[in-house]
Structures are given as structure tokens and as C-alpha cells.
Chains A and B, each alone.
Chain A
């Protein structure tokens, strides 16, 4: 089972700032099979990025993904008020099971 670790656990930033979220895998993941999700309070997770770099339908271009091997990054170029949420990474390279990271909370500073 591939274990995903996310850092930092919490990121405190102001609107307009840049957010950089990291996810590390316990073994190499094919970048074609890596995703990021956003979960706002009381809502279901929403797919942001699939294939490590591809934005899902309707996702603004301030969200971008990068990475390969064991290290992946989600960048939010300029935080909007609605971006303060929890972000999860997920791998779908080696399964079962598909696995998720523990999440990074992006808080308003």
C-alpha cells in the first residue's frame, strides 16, 4: 500500500498570497495517476487536478499541479476567499487500495 504524507499540516496565509502544498509518497507513483482534491467545510471533496497536472472541468487556472516520482506539489497562485479549505492528494497508480493523504488545511491568517 502506498502511503501519502502531506506537508504542512496547516498553512496560514492571507488572500492574494501564493500557497504551496506538498505530498510525498512512500514509493514512486506514475505521475499520470495522481490527483488533488479540495474540501470546503460541510462539503464533499472536489476534484481539482488529475494526472498530476491536468485541471478538472471548471477549475480556475490559479490552481496548478506538478511533480513526479515521490514528490508532488499543488500551487495556488493567488488565494481567493473560497480557497480556504482542506486539500487532499491521492494516488491511483498502485491499487488496491487507492490511497489519500491526511490533508493540508489552508487557513486565513
Chain B
């Protein structure tokens, strides 16, 4: 059974970089699309972006200048880096597998708070 587990700090200071890692078990990151999605408090889910082993990637235009998603096949992980964070980046962050655009496996989610 495939599982995804995110890890990283739950508190990030304004203007710093938010970094999260998603460990994939039961599947290889060499196939499919690996995605980050977030949910700010009281708001709808927001797709952040995806990357794939083949190098195909795309990001939400509103975040594109600040975000990078990378894949590490040696550890079967993928990661999210979001620069210059503000309080508006406070959210539950999920990692997920994309399959033709729908997301068929998700992590449990981790709350990241941006605060000094």
C-alpha cells in the first residue's frame, strides 16, 4: 500500500524559507507527478505545483517566483521550498501523487505556521 509522509518544521519566521520533504513508500518517484497542495485556515485547497522524474513541472502562477519542487530518486523523496514566506503562507501542507491530474494518494498533512 502506497504511503506518503511529509516532514519539516511547523514554524517558520517571516521572510525565511519554508522547506518540507515528502517520503514515498510503496511506489517509486520515477513515475507519476509529485505534487504539493495546501489549505490555509478556513479556505479551500490550493494546488502549489508538481514535478516529475522526466523533468516536467509546473507551478501556481501566484507562487511561481517563490517555489521549487524537486525529486530525489536516491531517497524516494520529493521536496518543497517556498521562499520569502509571509503569514499568508500559513496552511496545512499536503504532498500527493498526481495521476492524469487527479490526486490519488495524499499525505496526512502538516500545519506550517509563519510567525516571528
Contacts and interface: CB of A to CB of B under 8 A. Distances in A.
Interface of A: 33, 35, 37, 43-47, 50-51, 56-57, 88, 90, 92-93, 95-103
A97 B94 contact: no
Given A88-B44, A88-B45, A92-B101, A97 B60 contact: yes
B66 to A, nearest CB: 14
B104 A45 contact: no
Contact of B44 (A56, A93, A102): A102
Interface residues of B, number: 22
B53 interface: no
18 contacts: A33-B101, A35-B102, A44-B109, A45-B103, A46-B106, A50-B99, A51-B102, A93-B101, A95-B101, A96-B49, A96-B58, A96-B60, A97-B61, A97-B62, A98-B47, A100-B44, A100-B47, A101-B44
Please list the 8 inter-chain residue pairs (A to B) with the smallest Cβ-Cβ separation, ordered nearest first: A92-B101, A44-B106, A50-B102, A100-B45, A98-B47, A35-B102, A97-B60, A102-B44
A43 B108 contact: yes
Given A96-B59, A96-B61, A97-B47, A50 B100 contact: yes
A92 B108 contact: no
